[in-house]
Amino acid sequence: MNWRNMVMNPVLDKEFRLRMRSPRSAITILAYVLVMGLFAMGIIYVLTSTGMTSSRVDSGTSRLMFYALSIAQLVLIAFMTPALTAGVISGEREKQTLNMLLTTQQSSSAIILSKLVSSLSFMTLIIVATLPVYSIVFLYGGVSTGQLLLVFLFDLFVMLLLGAIGVCFSTLFKKTIFAVIMTYGAGLVIFLFTGIAYLFAMSIDQANYYSSGAAPVRAYSWVGYILGLNPAGALISIFEPSFSESAFFVQRSNLQSSAPIALWQEFLLVYSVVIVIMLWIAIRKIRPVRGRRRGKAGQAVQAASDGRHEDSVELPPQPEELKQMEKVEPKAGEREK
């Protein structure tokens, strides 16, 4: 087996051909780039015409535009990725082609990973297509190439997270609509609920902290761990490293005080475990029949079931048996007489 056959299995090859060569894919990329371009032009117009910055575009305006573009792209990823991944398995089941796919030589992990990679590759192509929009930022400075690379890697990780959740729900639910709803619900929890929970916990923590009379000395607050689960908070911590200290309410009394962990590092650690769990569930649940039992007990049960199956099958009578039946039938008739 050559290298191409090891990487490009038939499932992945088929998904690439169907997804990348359709006219809808080209229209989707065009619409995405147009939306991002108009959004960038709108940001420049608002920042220069409302007096928020100077009348010309400088490095500060360019930096604000980079922040706004990155957050807008993160929101678009949250809307598009579930739609692309939540129907990869349930769609095959609805078209009644999943059983045919499972009878091939492809393993469960190969099928799940091929479906996931094909869906995320299209989203990666869309993100790469927005590089000309980000080039406007580099015309005026304020943003380094390393920051742009980190933002793109972070977007890829968020895509992988939402894609793994979508494939998992697509495997668990038979209907695509249910899988899509559950995937969007999980994304809503990750993007919105974590931010609301942080604001709620922060208000309670600060109220308890200042209502206790003499404020106790503490290095940091625990509420920052909640914001570390939010993609927007993790993305801002990539832009501004000091944002992690503000999220944890680090006390400045000690010069050595710092955040226990950067928000983006916590985000990667926690959701890496979630990705592994989701993919493991999808691989285990894609086949309706459990794996073969191992050991002597499993072999005995399998042999017994095979024996019962063979006994239940009625074989057609052989020619010798037919001759004996013909001889026996007249004798039985004579006895009756």
The whole-number pLDDT of residue 213 equals 57
Distance CA 114, CA 206 (A): 48
The whole-number pLDDT of residue 162 equals 94
CA 111, 117, 118, 120 dihedral sign is: positive
The whole-number pLDDT of residue 163 equals 93
The whole-number pLDDT of residue 190 equals 93
The whole-number pLDDT of residue 186 equals 93
pTM of the full structure: 0.77
Task: Give the rounded distance of the alpha carbon of 281 from its chain centre.
Answer: 13
**How many residues in the chain?**
337
- As a three-state string, the secondary structure of 8-54 is CCHHHHHHHHHHHCCHHHHHHHHHHHHHHHHHHHHHHHHHHHCCCCC
Please, which contacts does 88-91 make with residues 24 or more away whose CB atoms are closer than 8 Å?
A: 88/115, 88/116, 88/118, 88/119, 88/166, 88/167, 88/170, 89/115, 89/167, 89/170, 89/171, 89/282, 89/286, 90/170, 90/171, 90/173, 90/174, 90/175, 90/176, 90/178, 90/179, 91/170, 91/176
The whole-number pLDDT of residue 293 equals 44
Please spell the DSSP secondary structure of 191-204, one letter per residue: IIIHHHHHHHHHHH
The whole-number pLDDT of residue 97 equals 83
Cβ pair 275, 164 in contact under 8 A: yes
Whose CA is closest to 76, among 158, 136, 180? 158
Structure tokens that stand for 117 in this block: 């990679």
The whole-number pLDDT of residue 202 equals 86
Distance CA 111, CA 214 (A): 60
The whole-number pLDDT of residue 208 equals 79
Burial of 114-152, coded b for 16+ CB within 10 Å and e otherwise, reads: bbbbbbbebbeebbeebeebbebbeebebbeeebbebbb
Q: What is the pLDDT along the chain (337 residues), one digit of tens a residue?
A: 444 544 667 777 777 777 777 788 888 888 888 988 888 888 877 877 765 555 566 677 778 888 888 898 999 899 989 988 888 888 888 888 888 888 877 788 888 888 888 888 888 888 888 888 888 887 777 788 888 889 899 999 999 999 999 999 999 998 889 999 999 999 999 999 999 999 998 888 777 777 765 555 667 788 889 999 999 999 999 888 888 888 887 776 555 567 788 899 999 999 999 999 999 999 998 887 654 444 444 454 455 545 544 444 454 555 555 555 555 555 444 544 4
Distance CA 163, CA 221 (A): 32
